[in-house]
Structure 1
Amino acid sequence: MPLHITSLNSGSNGNCYYIGNETEAVLVDAGISCRETEKRMRRLGLSMAKVRAIFISHEHSDHIRGVAVLARKYSLPVYITPTTLYSCGLRHENLEVVSFLPHEEVAVGRLSITAFPKRHDATDPHSFIVACEGVKVGVFTDIGSPCDQLIRYFQQCHAAFLEANYDEGLLEQGRYPYHLKNRIRGGKGHLSNRQALALFAAYKPDFMSHILLAHLSKDNNNPQLVKDLFSLHANGTQVVVASRYEESAVYSITGSGSFPAMPVQIPDAAPVKGIQIPGVQTSLFDW
């Protein structure tokens, strides 16, 4: 059974990702208004009646702005860690709030959702894998630096939303104050194009059909630049840039190939350094 995926919005102005099969779906983050979420889903031919839950990655406003209204209107459970719930100040009266633990599967109908910690300047941030009958889609945004866990899960994905937030040159030369530049590139902010490409080129499984580049900076990146960069290393994977202004198309993800053998022990979230992109003369994941 395929998984249908779309980015309803991706960027510092709001993030919301839809992943579902023919009968049920989940939203990862709800950073745009309920009205805008509904409007964009209607344009895509998607129904809120299929959405069964919202999963929240962390407490920043561009990930939670629409969650309360959306969850109340459609009686949706909100999966969120207790620490994130406390930090975001979400008024959760009349909300069904459900906590989750890292690396433990949550069943939503036939969907299986697994969270794992990420490096970001939030209290308890998590990335997610959504799976159904062997098909896996990852949501990997707001990541300050790659870690072993990110690599482990990325290698299992048939498709992924992957952050490519900023071009290092554009950030350095741009108008942001020095402290904000350091926050973005300091290891708990966002992934650069270079870091994201290193992960993609070195660890993309042969069966990955789609990569949706997400959370691009308005001021410090360029959609065509990053698409061209990733396309050079795509090797058959469709490269899509998720917009901060509109929804993407809906993509159907099917399973093919086999997953690599993975060790049983789950490592900590230490950053990974010194990875080389094939064909690119540079050492990556350095900070």
Structure 2
Amino acid sequence: MRFAVLGSGSGGNAAVVEAGGTRILVDAGLSARQITRRLGLMGIAPESIDAILLTHEHGDHIRGLRVLLKSVAAPIYATPATSHVVRDQLGVASWKIFESGAGFSVGGLAIESFAVPHDAVEPVGFVFRTEQRAIGLVSDSGHVTARVTEALRGVDSLFVEANYDDALLEADTKRPWSTKQRISSRHGHLSNAQAAELVAELAKDGLRHVVLGHLSRDCNNPEVALAAIRGKVEEVACACQDEPCGWHDGPSAPCEIRFGRDELFG
């Protein structure tokens, strides 16, 4: 099993997980053209996608979905509330509805969902499992609940939001106070410090590899985000908005594009 982040940030989010011939797209917040281009860079034909999983309904996670479905005949997996909001924007689509907290499978890949606190109707994170590996994915989340931590316990690899640095957010002059409050609220986004605390806790149970995502261009930067995590796990990198970050194959094999302790993407 391996995964790659196609792009992550306020301009759009998408990732792909692959295991045993099964390919899953998680979110489609980039344009359909960019998703197709970046899948191609990863050696993936769009028509080979077996399923599309949605974490929540915000535009930076579904923006390219309607056009993408013209070339990708894959079912969309979403919670009832998320599907209710999104389906009117898509027209004809094949839906697979799961309850938040439920598990399901796509091909031979076992998937567990769990609720996350964010200002969306029914946002979720995922854990992808095979007999050998477990990969966790937490996108937008205002804080880390005990349920989130327990759902992720035992994963060896993790994609997690690290949206802002507290000091940089406070010093930012572009955002009004109300926006800053929303970002840092318990249903907003994760800070570097919150992501670092989660990583440190999960490292006790085998977490070794971390990719940080959804970094704010104004209120964070890769150097600051990596400094918050460095030393807590074997490998950490930052996904970027503009290009895919390369395959991450986990502890048993090197990445096609290797990221090391101090290496940045973008």
Structure 1 residue 89: Cα displacement? 5.9
Aligned to 2:257: none
Residue 79 (1) aligns with residue 74 (2): no
* TM-score, structure 1 normalization: 0.83
Structure 1 residue 252: Cα displacement? 0.8
**Number of residues paired by the alignment?**
252
Aligned to 2:67: 69
Supply the distance in 1 between the matched residues of 2:45 and 2:158 (Cα, whole angstroms). 22
Aligned to 2:229: 230
Aligned to 2:238: 241
Give per-residue Cα distances to partners, 1:15-40, cap 9 Å, x unaligned. Answer: 00111114111111110112111111
Query: Which deviates further from its counterpart, 91-100 or 29-38?
Result: 91-100
Residue 251 (1) aligns with residue 242 (2): no
1:45 to 6, 18, 43: 43
Supply the distance in 2 between the matched residues of 1:49 and 1:192 (Cα, whole angstroms). 36
Supply the distance in 2 between the matched residues of 1:97 and 1:4 (Cα, whole angstroms). 25
Give the secondary-structure state (helix, strand or coil) at the position aligned to 2:89.
coil
Q: Percentage identity across aligned positions?
A: 33
Aligned to 2:192: 193
1:104 to 92, 102, 105: 102
Supply the distance in 2 between the matched residues of 1:139 and 1:133 (Cα, whole angstroms). 18
2:142 to 119, 141, 144: 144
Is the Cα contact below 8 Å between 2:114 and 2:151 reproduced in 1? Answer: no
Between 1 and 2, higher relative CO (CA 8 Å, sep ≥ 6) is seen in 1
Query: Which deviates further from its counterpart, 162-171 or 85-94?
Result: 85-94
Aligned to 2:256: none
Structure 1 residue 4: Cα displacement? 1.4
Residue 118 (1) aligns with residue 125 (2): no
Distance 1:89 1:100, change over 3 A: closer
Give per-residue Cα distances to partners, 1:86-142, cap 9 Å, x unaligned. Answer: 334643432101111123221110111111111000111111111122411111111
Aligned to 1:209: 208
Supply the distance in 1 between the matched residues of 2:48 and 2:207 (Cα, whole angstroms). 25
Which ranges of structure 1 fall in alignment gaps of 5 or more residues? 256-287
Give per-residue Cα distances to partners, 1:191-236, cap 9 Å, x unaligned. Answer: 11111111111232453231000111111001111112211322x2
Structure 1 residue 49: Cα displacement? 4.0
> Who wins on radius of gyration, i.e. which is larger?
1
Give the secondary-structure state (helix, strand or coil) at the position aligned to 1:91.
helix
* TM-score, structure 2 normalization: 0.89
Supply the distance in 1 between the matched residues of 2:116 and 2:21 (Cα, whole angstroms). 30
Structure 1 residue 44: Cα displacement? 2.1
Query: Which deviates further from its counterpart, 58-67 or 223-232?
Result: 223-232
Query: Which deviates further from its counterpart, 22-31 or 213-222?
Result: 22-31
Is the Cα contact below 8 Å between 1:82 and 1:99 reproduced in 2? Answer: yes
Supply the distance in 1 between the matched residues of 2:183 and 2:140 (Cα, whole angstroms). 10
Moved over 6 A (4+): none
Query: Which deviates further from its counterpart, 130-139 or 187-196?
Result: 130-139
Residue 157 (1) aligns with residue 158 (2): no
Supply the distance in 2 between the matched residues of 1:43 and 1:89 (Cα, whole angstroms). 29
Supply the distance in 1 between the matched residues of 2:128 and 2:66 (Cα, whole angstroms). 22
Is the Cα contact below 8 Å between 1:76 and 1:96 reproduced in 2? Answer: yes
Is the Cα contact below 8 Å between 1:157 and 1:205 reproduced in 2? Answer: no
Give the secondary-structure state (helix, strand or coil) at the position aligned to 1:72.
coil
Residue 8 (1) aligns with residue 13 (2): no
Supply the distance in 2 between the matched residues of 1:199 and 1:103 (Cα, whole angstroms). 19
1:32 corresponds to which letter in structure 2? L
Supply the distance in 2 between the matched residues of 1:218 and 1:54 (Cα, whole angstroms). 27
Distance 1:208 1:46, change over 3 A: farther
Is the Cα contact below 8 Å between 2:199 and 2:207 reproduced in 1? Answer: no
